[in-house]
Amino acid sequence: IRVEFLDYEAVADRGWDLADADLFAKAADADLAPADHGRLLVEPDESLLEAAENRGFSWPFSCRGGACANCAVYLVEGELSQPANHILSEEHAERGFRLSCNGYPLSDELKVVFNVKHLPELDELRL
């Protein structure tokens, strides 16, 4: 499963928006650092967070158990599983937010913006 990722900090720094249709194209043109924008492979038994860590990236997390939203990502393309009882509401989910600590890819390809914990709508959820 191939994942293309982008750090929300890079999005915010450049004044881009999560809703930009060409967000990943702009990221590709911007020559960002490998930790800020790139690709990684997720093995079938890895959560998205575990895959990032196992490939040498340090994405934010805290509880690793679906209770804090520090590990939240925004799905631009593809699908990531979302266990039932956790901190994100249905509304968050509909808008594309998922947890990377217990989210497993459900599609062959994913595009995600990680490090979205500082978005105002998620900031209030963090413990």
Binding site for ligand FES (CB under 6 A): 61-64, 66-71, 99, 101
* SS3 of residue 123 by DSSP: helix
16 vs 61 by CB, closer to ligand FES? 61
> Which two three-digit tokens encode residue 119?
């978005």
Tell me the closest approach of the beta carbon of residue 124 to ligand FES, in angstroms: 14
Cα 36 to Cα 33: distance, rounded to the nearest angstrom: 5
Give the residue closest to ligand FES by C-beta.
Answer: 101
Tell me the closest approach of the beta carbon of residue 26 to ligand FES, in angstroms: 27
Angle (nearest 5°) at CA 41 between 53 and 52: 15
> Which two three-digit tokens encode residue 87?
């901190």
Tell me the closest approach of the beta carbon of residue 24 to ligand FES, in angstroms: 23
Tell me the closest approach of the beta carbon of residue 102 to ligand FES, in angstroms: 6
Given the structure tokens 């509304």, which residue do they identify?
A: 91
Please name the amino acid found at residue 121.
Answer: E
68 vs 113 by CB, closer to ligand FES? 68
Longest dimension (CA), the chain: 39
32 vs 62 by CB, closer to ligand FES? 62
11 vs 102 by CB, closer to ligand FES? 102
